[in-house]
Amino acid sequence: MTIMPSPTFPFIKVVANDVGGIKERWSVVDLSGRYHDNPINVNSLMLTSMGAWLDSKGSWDTDVLATQPGVSISTELLQWEHRATMGRDQYVKIVKFGRVYPFGHKAVEITITERKVKPGFPFAFLEQEKFIMIRQPVLDYSLESSVMKRNLPFKRVELRTLNTPPITGTVVGSAPIADAYWIKVAASGQDFPWAVVATDWDGSEVKFTTPLIFVRGFVAGAYDEVPYTNAKPVLDSCATAMAKVAVSMGGQKIAWAKSPGSDPLKSQARVLPTNSIKFTSNNVDQAVPGETRFYPQVSQANVQLDAIEEMTNQSAGTTIRVASMYQ
C-alpha cells in the first residue's frame, strides 16, 4: 500500500491502491465462516438509511489454521476489531502475524485507525498508527544443524524490547514494502533500537541493540496453500540489506565456537573481543509448514586479535567470516 499525504490537510493520510484492505475483508469472511474457525463477536449492529452502527471483534489462530491442508487464506489476519457509528468508522484495529529479521522471532503488526478531532478544524479525521509487538521473546538455536551453529556464535537470542512506539516502514532493497520493511520510529524516522541479550556457546551473555526488519507471515514462514507468495527474492533482499549493518558489540568477548575440551590455548583462541557483527541469513527453500524460511548467520565480524595487532601495529580490528566450505 502507498501512503500519500493529503494536499489540503498535511496530517491526513490517504491509503491508495488498497489491495490489502480487500484481502482483509475476504479473510474475515473466510475465517469466520468458510473455514468455521471462530465467528465474529458482535456487540451491536444496527442498519439504518443513514448508515450502519457496528461494534464487533474477531480473533483467529490464522498462523496455525494456514498450515492445514486445503486451507488457502490470502492475508495474515489474526484480529479485527471495528467500531462504526452511522456509517462512519470510529476505531479499527487490525493485527497480522509475521517475524522479525534476521533472528526469526514471531511478532505481530498492529494497525490502529481512529477518528480524532484536530485543534482548529471542525472535523474528526481518521488517523492511523502502526506498532510491532513480539510474540516470541526467546529463540533457542542449540538444537539446530551443525552448519547453523558454525554460522552463528549464539545459541540463544532474547529480545528484551517487546513493543515499539508508533512506527513507520522503509523499503528493504527491491522487496515490496507490503512484504518486508525496516522498522523505523514514526516520530523521528530513525531505526528503532531493539535491545537484545544473546547467549554464546560458553553461556556468557552479550548485550547489544540492533535494527530489525519486519517480514510478513506468509513470506517469513512456509505455508503451502497460500497463493501468490514468492518469498525468495524478498528474503534475499533482507539478507543483502542486513549484511550492510554493522551492529556494535562494544568489545564484548564472544565464544565463536564450542569449547574444544581441556586444552586452555584452544579454548582461549576461540573467545574474541568483538567490535561489531554484520548479520545476514541462511534462507531455506523447503521448510516445514508453519516454520521459518530463514535462519540467522554472521556475514562478517570485526574482532580484536592480539597477534595481528602486534604484527601490524594497528588496533582497528580484524575482519573474520565463516569459510564458505563450512557454510
Helix (H), strand (E), coil (C) string for 82-129: EEEECCEEEEEEEEEEEEEECCCCEEEEEEEEEEEECCCCCCEEEEEE
Q: What is the spatial distance between Cα 172 and Cα 215, in angstroms, rounded to a whole number?
A: 10
Place of cell 522503509: 170
Alpha-carbon 313 to chain mean position: 42
Residue type at position 267? S
Secondary structure (3-state) at 235: helix
DSSP, collapsed to helix, strand or coil, labels residue 62 as helix
Give 51's strand partners.
48
Distance CA 81, CA 83 (A): 7
Q: Provide the grid cell at 194.
A: 531493539
Percent of the chain with pLDDT over 90: 54
Q: Which 3 state secondary structure label does DSSP give 153?
A: coil
Low-confidence ranges of the chain (pLDDT < 50): 1-20
Query: What confidence score (pLDDT) does residue 9 get?
Result: 36
* pLDDT score for 1: 33
Q: What is the pTM of this model?
A: 0.87
**Nearby residues of 12 by Cβ (< 8 Å), 6 or more positions away:** 5, 6, 125, 126
Q: Which three cell numbers stand for residue 152?
A: 552463528
C-alpha grid cell, residue 311: 604484527
Kindly tell me the burial class for residue 279, based on how many C-beta atoms sit within 10 Å of its own C-beta (0-12, 13-18, 19 or more).
buried
In the numeric block, the cell 564458505 is attached to 324
Give the closest residue to 245 by CA, choosing from 183, 203, 197: 183
Reported as half-sphere exposure (CB side, CA atoms, 13 A), residue 268 has a value of 5
Q: How many Å apart are CA 241 and CA 250, to the nearest integer?
A: 22
Query: Grid coordinates standing for 240?
Result: 543483502
Please say whether the beta carbons of 73 and 84 come within 8 A: no
